Structure 1
Amino acid sequence: MTMSGAASCDVSRTTTMTSASGRTMHPAAIHAPPLVPVSAQVRFSNMADSIQNGSGDITRFIYKDMFFTYPINLYELNILLKILVDEVGLEEVPDVIQNYHLCIVKNRLIDSDIIAKASQMKVIMQYGVGIEGVDVNAATEHKIKVARINGSTTGNAVSCAEMAIYLTLGILRKQKMMDTAVKRKDLGSPVGDTIFGKRVLILGFGAIGVEIAKRIRPFGVKILATKRNWSAETLPCDIDELVDKKGGPEDMYEFTGEADIVITCLLLSNETVGIVDHKFLSTMKKGSYLVNIARGHILDYDAVFDHLKSGHLGGLGIDVAWTEPYDPEDPILKFSNVIITPHTAGVTEYSFRAAAKVCTNSSKCP
């Protein structure tokens, strides 16, 4: 293995997280095995003396893998002509990470143990929005900056919003039952429902929540939304015409009781782990629908299972799960009113191309 250029590695989660109820979550339940090939997980940029890139603190890098098609590679190569790519396996990470200055992370954990070995690291950049996989406190202690890519700048928020609506329509129209009907050569069944006239609660009205509201509003729905801070400077647009009723975390249970559909867009944190629990689901209308495009552990597994089994929950659409890749034999998937997609809400050509450009431009030497 050479030590010039950029490197990739696969790092498994080893930390725990506490739920909203104080329950400690098992590490395996917080983070999953890779969702994409190892070569796409984590990249490190090396300040090798052999790289003739001036006196900048951070070397430039390129990606070479299946997700970055020819135009993106060409774009990057025109800027970053002298950087090679190294692929580093999990077992090699402790031996090489000290040689690198820039870490680009996708869907993998960078914990305190890894950070402690990264003696020359300058920046850890999350290749996406959520940074729960990076130990920010440890990075700060080691004077390493942590950055993420704003979803509104790359199309990630738009892509996730489209997936939320896709899942919503899927459970309303009973997609899994329709698949069964086709296999049985049945016509005219099942009888689904329309989104028209429904009251939709968007739990977490950030960039993704706003994009959902923009796209779901024309279906003829009423929109309720919760957000910690509704000040104008925290919103990307004027939301007066998007939201019919807005509130804070303290209004959550009131809003769930009014909604026909709940879409969760919350960041995963100590405050939000397991927030959709028995109390939350019991407050929802009987027969209402739940969609989760945030993180799997926003939902309490046992509570969701119980409310599906009792029939109180009318349908569940999830792009994220409690463990990933999700066990296809999991009991929750046996319900005919459950749809799951493999954590692909933000996985689109458009968003990946834009994110690649952000990473490239952010990593260029001055």
Structure 2
Amino acid sequence: MTIRVLAAGDHFVRNDLLAGALRREVAGGLAISELTLPWPVVPFGPVGEVDEASDVEDELIAALRGVEVCVTQMAPLTRRVLDACPDLRLFCVSRGGPVNANLEAATEAGVAVTFAPGRNAVATAEHTMALLLAATRRIPQTHGDLAGGVWRGDYYTYDRVGPELEGSTVGLVGYGAIGRRVARMVEGFGAEVLVYDPYVDVPGQVELDELLRRSRFVSLHARATPETTGMIGAEQLALMPRGSVLVNCARGALLDYDALCDALESGHLFGAGVDVFPEEPIPAGSRLLAAPNLVMTPHLAGASKETAMKAASIVAADVARYARGEPPAHCANPAVTLSARRPSGRA
């Protein structure tokens, strides 16, 4: 039986990667069509009732006619799309979480939604280390001075140099796949690691306030939930030792960025590195653009060739399970059963 699949890739998780992974994983019987989404050339945003998606509802609806499976990174699975696409049974999101899918509506429609946990864990952990070191050693600022023909010897004065990782304490807020990798990396530098994560059982973990008081470096790796939104604000930053460094490669919602700017401007924090923001792109006039010793990257911590290839392979493997009549390995709405696959339509 032929399964009609739409590869709705973009300029990162490309259609050739998705189609190649599907052909490797699924033993024949595929009819693959393609739709190319504009991300990241065109930023994602809210679409209908979902977040962080490409605004392509009309194009997606047209491309999904008669299609049973969609593999994508940024396509919006909204109630409108679901209502217009009765043949859809499986929607595979090649991201760490399916934030671009309306899970309630998908469950009501009998559409299983899968995702790709851990796809960017290595890339994000490595980027975390890059930001931590860049902020601590003032690499962007000193490079900018040199590129402008200025040799700043005053960067070598005691008050301007930063701390070393070796012998320091690094606090990790969140201890999932990324946090665990960062822990191994900083331990390789000779640092002690503290962990706060109420959702995992980590021997010796501490409460958040204790972690902040004891850590010279703090890195955020929690998911954005109602409980974690705004978890690091002025009060929490004030607990960190003077001259410490904060890194956020997780989600902008975790951190109060006005409070971060205050802490940098006052000198309470030596530096910070951030890859995620409360509003993306950063609006003109934002305080972040003038904050001292702040290293910023445009939400690309997870960007590596390996991330894109892993993402394609993870979702293709779940399509293969679906084709064999097996449950998917990474289903966000397991109440939907796919054991009785139908070639088209929904009961």
TM-score normalised per structure 2: 0.74
Alpha-carbon distance in 1 for matches of 2:17, 2:89: 29
- CA change 1:87–1:258 in 2 (3 A) is closer
In structure 1, the residue matched to 2:4 is 59
- The answer on 1:124 being equivalent to 2:88 is no
- Deviation of 1:107 (Å): 4.5
The question of 1:184 aligning with 2:143 is answered no
Residue type of the alignment partner of 2:182: I
* Paired position in structure 2 for 1:145: 112
Indicate which of 217, 225, 230 corresponds to 2:187.
217
CA distance in 2, matches of 1:133, 1:69: 18
**Partner residue of 1:290 out of 246, 249, 259:** 246
Q: CA RMSD in A?
A: 2.9
How far 1:87 sits from its partner (Å)?
A: 4.6
CA distance in 1, matches of 2:273, 2:182: 15
Structure 1 residue 292 displacement after superposition: 0.5
Partner of 2:210: 254
Q: Does 1:110 align with 2:110?
A: no
Q: Which runs of 5+ in 1 are unaligned?
A: 1-53, 232-238
Tell me the secondary structure at the aligned position of residue 352 of structure 1: helix
Cα distance in 1, alignment partners of residues 8 and 99 from structure 2: 23
CA contact (8 A) 1:197 1:220 kept: yes
- Following superposition, the deviation at residue 326 of structure 1 comes to 2.5
CA 1:70/1:131 → structure 2, altered by over 3 Å: closer, same or farther? closer
Identity of paired residues, percent? 26
Q: Secondary structure at the match of 2:229?
A: coil
CA-CA distance at 1:329 after TM superposition: 4.6
The counterpart of 1:202, out of the listed 172, 175, 183, is 172
- Which of 30, 33, 38 in structure 2 is aligned with 1:84? 33
Q: Secondary structure at the match of 1:84?
A: strand
Q: Is the contact between residue 62 and residue 77 of structure 1 (CA under 8 Å) also seen in structure 2?
A: no
Deviation at residue 276 of structure 1 after TM alignment = 1.2
Distance 1:77 1:169 in 2: 41
Distance 2:68 2:121 in 1: 29
Checking the alignment, whether the CA contact within 8 Å between 1:305 and 1:332 is kept in structure 2 is: yes
Deviation at 1:166, TM superposition (A): 0.5
Q: Which residue of 1 aligns with 2:306?
A: 350
Q: 1:326 to 1:73 in 2, by over 3 A?
A: same
Aligned length: 294
Cα distance, 1:177 vs structure 2: 2.0
1:44 corresponds to:
none
Q: Structure 2: give runs of 5+ residues left out of the alignment.
A: 38-54, 325-347
Tell me if the contact between 1:106 and 1:128 (Cα under 8 Å) persists in the aligned partners: yes
Equivalent residue of 1:176, what SS? Answer: helix
Cα distance change of structure 1 residues 65 and 106 upon mapping to structure 2, 3 Å threshold: closer
Aligned counterpart for 2:288 among listed residues 332, 338, 342: 332
- Cα deviation, 1:11-70, whole Å, max 9, x if unaligned, reads xxxxxxxxxxxxxxxxxxxxxxxxxxxxxxxxxxxxxxxxxxx15xx5345577644497
Contact 2:60–2:81 (Cα < 8 Å) also in 1: yes
For 1:181 and 1:189, how far apart are their aligned partners in 2?
12
